[in-house]
Amino acid sequence: MVWKTHEYDKIAGTYVFDGQRAHGSYALNRLFYSFNEDICRKAFDANPESYCKNFGLDQKQTEMVVKQDFLGILRAGANIYYMAKFCIPRGLSIQDAGAAFQGISSEDFKGKLLKKRIGLEDRLEKEGGYWNG
Protein backbone atom coordinates (compact mmCIF):
# COMPACT_ATOMS: atom_id res chain seq x y z
CA MET A 1 0.00 0.00 0.00
CA VAL A 2 1.70 3.18 -1.16
CA TRP A 3 0.65 6.68 -2.01
CA LYS A 4 1.35 7.40 -5.64
CA THR A 5 3.73 10.26 -6.45
CA HIS A 6 2.68 13.01 -8.85
CA GLU A 7 4.33 15.48 -11.20
CA TYR A 8 2.88 18.31 -9.13
CA ASP A 9 4.78 17.14 -6.02
CA LYS A 10 7.80 18.90 -7.57
CA ILE A 11 6.24 22.37 -7.50
CA ALA A 12 8.18 24.15 -4.73
CA GLY A 13 6.36 25.65 -1.74
CA THR A 14 3.10 24.05 -2.84
CA TYR A 15 0.82 21.49 -1.20
CA VAL A 16 -1.60 20.18 -3.78
CA PHE A 17 -4.74 19.02 -2.01
CA ASP A 18 -5.09 15.46 -3.29
CA GLY A 19 -6.28 12.17 -1.87
CA GLN A 20 -3.21 11.66 0.28
CA ARG A 21 -3.53 15.08 1.92
CA ALA A 22 -7.33 14.84 2.14
CA HIS A 23 -7.09 11.43 3.79
CA GLY A 24 -4.57 12.44 6.46
CA SER A 25 -6.35 15.68 7.32
CA TYR A 26 -9.96 14.61 7.17
CA ALA A 27 -10.67 15.32 10.85
CA LEU A 28 -8.91 18.68 10.65
CA ASN A 29 -10.89 19.81 7.59
CA ARG A 30 -14.09 18.48 9.11
CA LEU A 31 -13.48 20.63 12.16
CA PHE A 32 -12.90 23.73 10.00
CA TYR A 33 -16.01 22.91 7.95
CA SER A 34 -18.07 22.93 11.15
CA PHE A 35 -17.24 26.65 11.47
CA ASN A 36 -19.86 27.37 8.79
CA GLU A 37 -22.20 27.34 11.80
CA ASP A 38 -21.91 30.27 14.18
CA ILE A 39 -22.82 28.02 17.11
CA CYS A 40 -19.78 25.85 16.32
CA ARG A 41 -17.47 28.84 16.08
CA LYS A 42 -18.63 29.89 19.54
CA ALA A 43 -18.25 26.37 20.94
CA PHE A 44 -14.69 26.24 19.64
CA ASP A 45 -13.83 29.63 21.14
CA ALA A 46 -15.25 28.57 24.50
CA ASN A 47 -12.94 25.55 24.73
CA PRO A 48 -10.63 24.92 21.76
CA GLU A 49 -8.88 21.83 23.16
CA SER A 50 -12.10 20.05 23.99
CA TYR A 51 -13.61 21.00 20.61
CA CYS A 52 -10.57 19.55 18.80
CA LYS A 53 -10.84 16.36 20.84
CA ASN A 54 -14.51 15.96 19.91
CA PHE A 55 -13.52 16.11 16.23
CA GLY A 56 -10.86 13.43 16.71
CA LEU A 57 -7.77 15.60 16.23
CA ASP A 58 -4.55 14.13 17.59
CA GLN A 59 -2.39 15.98 20.11
CA LYS A 60 -0.11 17.51 17.47
CA GLN A 61 -2.98 18.74 15.31
CA THR A 62 -4.73 20.16 18.38
CA GLU A 63 -1.62 22.11 19.37
CA MET A 64 -1.27 23.57 15.88
CA VAL A 65 -4.90 24.65 15.80
CA VAL A 66 -4.79 26.19 19.28
CA LYS A 67 -1.54 28.04 18.44
CA GLN A 68 -2.81 29.03 14.97
CA ASP A 69 0.32 27.58 13.37
CA PHE A 70 -0.87 28.10 9.78
CA LEU A 71 2.09 26.54 7.98
CA GLY A 72 1.97 23.55 10.31
CA ILE A 73 -1.76 23.15 9.71
CA LEU A 74 -1.24 23.40 5.96
CA ARG A 75 1.57 20.84 6.04
CA ALA A 76 -0.67 18.56 8.10
CA GLY A 77 -2.93 18.50 5.04
CA ALA A 78 -5.55 21.17 5.67
CA ASN A 79 -7.23 22.63 2.62
CA ILE A 80 -6.77 26.39 2.23
CA TYR A 81 -10.49 27.09 1.68
CA TYR A 82 -11.30 25.27 4.92
CA MET A 83 -8.49 27.09 6.71
CA ALA A 84 -10.19 30.32 5.63
CA LYS A 85 -13.19 29.32 7.75
CA PHE A 86 -10.78 29.21 10.68
CA CYS A 87 -8.78 32.39 9.92
CA ILE A 88 -11.43 34.90 8.89
CA PRO A 89 -13.67 34.78 11.99
CA ARG A 90 -10.49 35.36 14.01
CA GLY A 91 -9.87 38.64 12.19
CA LEU A 92 -7.14 37.16 10.01
CA SER A 93 -7.29 37.29 6.24
CA ILE A 94 -6.04 34.66 3.85
CA GLN A 95 -3.28 37.16 3.08
CA ASP A 96 -2.21 37.09 6.74
CA ALA A 97 -2.03 33.30 6.38
CA GLY A 98 -0.02 33.74 3.15
CA ALA A 99 2.41 35.99 5.01
CA ALA A 100 2.70 33.41 7.79
CA PHE A 101 3.48 30.68 5.23
CA GLN A 102 6.40 32.80 4.03
CA GLY A 103 7.46 34.06 7.45
CA ILE A 104 7.04 37.72 6.42
CA SER A 105 4.74 40.50 7.64
CA SER A 106 1.27 40.91 6.15
CA GLU A 107 2.29 44.39 4.97
CA ASP A 108 5.24 42.94 3.03
CA PHE A 109 3.04 40.20 1.58
CA LYS A 110 0.44 42.71 0.40
CA GLY A 111 3.19 45.05 -0.83
CA LYS A 112 4.61 42.34 -3.08
CA LEU A 113 1.17 41.77 -4.56
CA LEU A 114 0.54 45.49 -5.13
CA LYS A 115 3.69 45.67 -7.24
CA LYS A 116 1.78 43.69 -9.88
CA ARG A 117 -0.22 46.85 -10.51
CA ILE A 118 2.87 48.83 -11.55
CA GLY A 119 3.00 49.23 -15.32
CA LEU A 120 -0.12 47.12 -15.80
CA GLU A 121 -1.95 49.64 -17.98
CA ASP A 122 1.12 49.96 -20.26
CA ARG A 123 1.42 46.19 -20.47
CA LEU A 124 -2.23 45.89 -21.50
CA GLU A 125 -1.86 48.73 -23.99
CA LYS A 126 0.95 46.76 -25.61
CA GLU A 127 -1.20 43.63 -25.70
CA GLY A 128 -4.00 45.52 -27.43
CA GLY A 129 -7.77 45.46 -27.20
CA TYR A 130 -8.04 45.64 -23.42
CA TRP A 131 -10.44 48.01 -21.72
CA ASN A 132 -8.19 50.46 -19.95
CA GLY A 133 -10.58 52.89 -18.32
Partner 1 sequence: MAKIIGGVTTSHIPAVGNAISQGLTQEHYWKRFFDGYKPVKAWLKENKPDVIIIVYNDHGLNFFLDKSPTFAIGCADKYHNADEGWGLKPAAPFTGDAEFSWHLAESLIEQEFDLCTCQEMLVDHGFVNPVRVLFDDHEVWPIKTIPLVVNTVQHPLPSAKRCFKLGVALKKAIESYPENLKVVVAGTGGLSHQLQGERAGIIDVDYDLACMESIINDPAWFYSQSNTEIMEKAGTEGIEGIMWLVMRGAMGDQVNCLHKHYHAPISNTGAGVLLLENADDSHS
Cα–Cα distance, 19 to 42 (Å, whole number): 30
Per-residue binding string, partner 1, 40-69, x by CB under 8 A, is -x----------------------------
Q: Is 108 helix (H, G, I), strand (E, B) or coil?
A: helix
Cα–Cα distance, 6 to 119 (Å, whole number): 37
114 binding partner 1? (CB under 8 A):
yes
Q: Which of 86, 104, 95, 75 is nearest to 16 (CA)?
A: 75
List residues binding partner 1 (CB under 8 A): 6-8, 11-19, 22, 26, 29-30, 32-33, 35-38, 41, 71, 74, 79-86, 88-89, 94-95, 97-98, 101-102, 109, 112-114, 116-117, 120, 123-124, 127, 129-131, 133
